[in-house]
Structure 1
């Protein structure tokens, strides 16, 4: 204990800018470090000593920053603060000795004394901050303490972040910026730093307060740090408690540099919780976000992500619609920027999901026409934009006969047939899904698809490696050949019939969806020309083997082929 006390300076008279003054600060810092170490050995009043220890660490960071400053004028306020700090540290040391030795007179009195010391430490931290804010100190060449090595202890990490926070709070503008940059570097490279940082008092509040500063990239760096913290779901409540929503919206309105982008990312993460949606709305955020989209700002894609989270609240969605959101996003869906185009179409789909009135409004405002233009092979749209457009068309139109007619007028059928033939993997599969959906809308659609040449393309997918693709192609064909005109058209192609029969080989482990293939053949037996091709095919034996194996659909086909004038064609016919 005596060795600890001996580190304290007897007075703090020397100017801080002098070597002797800095030496005195260093001795005070050494004493604080010793007190912090001593506090870990105290077994009584653990909560109060934890609080005192945290304040000692913050004070240590603040005084360490002073060591790296040059004098610009006389320092009466700082000298006075150092004297007061010295007195408090002596008092704290005395209390720690009594707690270690259990020599205090009463618990209530000791608790009161600890509270007084804690309050004094708060005041010292505040006074140092005020001295910096008055411009009494200027930064020297040393900026921050060294970053902890990989695998550093939690205490080392905590001390480093406290040092950064101290400089961010009380340093010059340049020191603040360097501190924020250093903070962003560590929280992005190691999650441990985020978890420790969030536990440090006032860190989040300080970062939030910087959102209103438009100088030397401070706003940008603060918004960047907050967007990283918002990426942790468990920490989002801390951001909300710190009042982050209103400053973020102000950044969107008048922020500088990349601040707006980081603020938007932060809002997108925060609004994943619908409870926070109302806070965005209450602060006028919905109007600000829509304005960005109306002006066609580069932030549109990110803003769409926020609005997409907000439309889950019915009242907020209605407000968006009243503010003209639908025509705004239909217009954005026509723009040439791929990211904006995709985000806008995705947002329109989300807005219309499960809402027939909104779906009708989108169609009325020209949404289907806009999406069809994106899908047009002659357009300059990317594959990703076309995929999103195709999804949007199916999701928006699947309940409306009128919308199907409009789609056909816009060349939708030709578009999906083109992508069935020439599209890449994912777009081709989406075109197949669209064909399946279109086929299910009406018999007239089936006829038009048959005339357009869909069936030969669908047959090609029956031997796809993907089970889902094989099944969807078979289901679409099965639905199309119910129509007599399509049965005749399908039977005109010998390869179509032969491939179906070939794929029914019972010895093949993977020959597609047998039930659906048999269903297609069953429908084809209703057409004379198709029935004749089936009967004359060299692969008819596959049907016979399945019939012998008691496959009911195969038995039905054999019976139908065996009837009337086709009976003589078949030899050794099977009967049951």
Structure 2
């Protein structure tokens, strides 16, 4: 029997016994630390944490019966780690006896590492004790429905999230993501600095990718709520940028969406994205053919947010943002939301023109043609594109090379027929007016005027815009364009008259609309010369 007893497996120590054993180790560790020489400030902080740990153990022990199976397993691992930390603490403190001579630097490093480990153990013990209290409170509550149960579980899940154990964090994220789908408002309302900080820390490369992806998914959900400023203040932007450039498809997508939300919060948030290398991965997401439409749209939206600040626009251009936005407008595989972000980004990049080269570069990349094609395909989403075209009008009309290079470039890119079509066919009054404004600017370059003269519908449409009853702000641009056309082509003048331009011009002249009298004299003068010429024959 004795031999048989010796071969039987040893009984596993229970968690209650582990707590009791650790409780006996703390006084020895305290005595050793208090007797240690040197590094008095560090030892004083360690004594304080040991005392807190000692006070926490009875609380933890009283709640052990309330813990579920998983929490008990976690508690066992935690207590084993605490026991090891106490043993190391006693050992290091025992080596610090006066007088200290050699190896001070190495000894100080060992003390610092041990202090960090003790701090983590203390925090985990406090969190596990808190989980036990939550179970105790829940056991005395009446049965709840699924949604209420989800809400009741949130404090426990958030406690797991802050523990150092990887599996605890992993399971916490699973539970929190499920809770978000059931009751997002309740989850968001309970988050505080510590919870958000714990989530943000899980975005860093020190954690397994599966954990990073779940944390990014959680942050992505929260970033769309009222927690944007909290996420930014807890440093979420930089790890999200790194994740956006990673090989993980899920991580890239969630990071892109979160960056889209967070970059809209403030100038400083946009600056962090730009200054920490965020533009490059975002541009790459937009450039990918047949890529993830969610990531593409979010990336384009983030670049749009950054372009709001004039300080950042040149940096965006330097990273190829203009070309990417122009391409997005013309791509069949790009979703409408991506194209709208692209139009808004181009609008921002061409805003506030004062002679700098960036808006000219936007024009040279084919932005005007792309915006016009986009306008033609989307009658209901035109505002950003119209404003962008309006900005390009200003670029052409105020550029020092406006009479030649910029107008020639727009003509060579095939913009004149597209502008004519927009003026004649678009449902939006704003789109038609900006089209005729651009035509008026381009018409002063003879090759462009020649192309307009080839299209009888262009002249007829311009004459219709002279009607002061139907239109108002477009009158002056139509007059400017017709003046340019009338000065170079006799046939065009006859076409204007045949479509009733003179009657409109007389009314506009009475209203003192600029250019109306001059155009009327040109048309009537040509007509009188034609009559005199006929009478002489």
Q: TM-score, normalised by structure 1?
A: 0.55
Contact 2:497 2:523 in 1 (8 A): no
Aligned counterpart, 1:346: 301
Aligned counterpart, 1:289: 240
* 1:533 has 2:485 as partner: no
Please give the per-residue CA displacement for 1:199-231, whole angstroms capped at 9, x wherever unaligned: xxx875334214356499653233443687664
* 1:489 has 2:489 as partner: no
Aligned counterpart, 2:421: 460
**CA shift at 1:345, angstroms?**
2.0
Aligned counterpart, 1:441: 395
Aligned counterpart, 1:240: 192
Structure 1 spans left out of the alignment, 5+ residues:
1-76, 78-124, 139-164, 188-196, 572-576
Aligned counterpart, 2:135: 169
Taking a change above 3 Å as real, the CA distance of residues 409 and 559 of structure 1, as seen in their structure-2 partners, is: closer
Distance 2:335 2:190 in 1: 41
Aligned counterpart, 2:52: none
* 1:395 has 2:348 as partner: yes
| Partner secondary structure for residue 192 of structure 2 | helix
Aligned counterpart, 1:500: 462
Aligned counterpart, 1:560: 522
Aligned counterpart, 1:133: 67
Please give the per-residue CA displacement for 1:134-172, whole angstroms capped at 9, x wherever unaligned: 76xx9xxxxxxxxxxxxxxxxxxxxxxxxxx99983599
| Partner secondary structure for residue 324 of structure 1 | coil
Match 1:360 to one of 310, 314, 319: 314
Aligned counterpart, 1:206: 156
Paired residues for 1:214-253 under 5 Å? 214=168, 219-225=173-179, 231=185, 238-240=190-192, 243-252=194-203, 253=207
Count of aligned pairs between the two proteins: 391
Distance 1:354 1:434 in 2: 16
Distance 1:351 1:180 in 2: 46
Contact 1:446 1:483 in 2 (8 A): yes
Taking a change above 3 Å as real, the CA distance of residues 362 and 286 of structure 1, as seen in their structure-2 partners, is: same
Contact 1:498 1:539 in 2 (8 A): no
Q: TM-score, normalised by structure 2?
A: 0.58
Taking a change above 3 Å as real, the CA distance of residues 461 and 334 of structure 1, as seen in their structure-2 partners, is: closer
Taking a change above 3 Å as real, the CA distance of residues 403 and 512 of structure 1, as seen in their structure-2 partners, is: closer
Match 2:328 to one of 374, 383, 396: 374
What do you get for the CA RMSD once the two structures are aligned? 4.6
Aligned counterpart, 2:277: 324
* 1:182 has 2:116 as partner: no
**CA shift at 1:527, angstroms?**
3.2
Please give the per-residue CA displacement for 1:167-218, whole angstroms capped at 9, x wherever unaligned: 983599xx9xxx999127x88xxxxxxxxx6xxxx87533421435649965
* 1:302 has 2:266 as partner: no
Contact 1:251 1:263 in 2 (8 A): no
Q: Which has the higher helix share?
A: 2
Distance 1:448 1:530 in 2: 27
Contact 1:349 1:396 in 2 (8 A): no
Distance 1:168 1:261 in 2: 27
Taking a change above 3 Å as real, the CA distance of residues 132 and 203 of structure 1, as seen in their structure-2 partners, is: closer
Aligned counterpart, 1:194: none
Structure 2 spans left out of the alignment, 5+ residues:
1-15, 17-58, 73-130, 397-401, 533-537
Aligned counterpart, 1:30: none
Aligned counterpart, 1:474: 436
My pick for the range that moved more, 464-473 or 479-488, is: 479-488
Contact 1:333 1:341 in 2 (8 A): yes
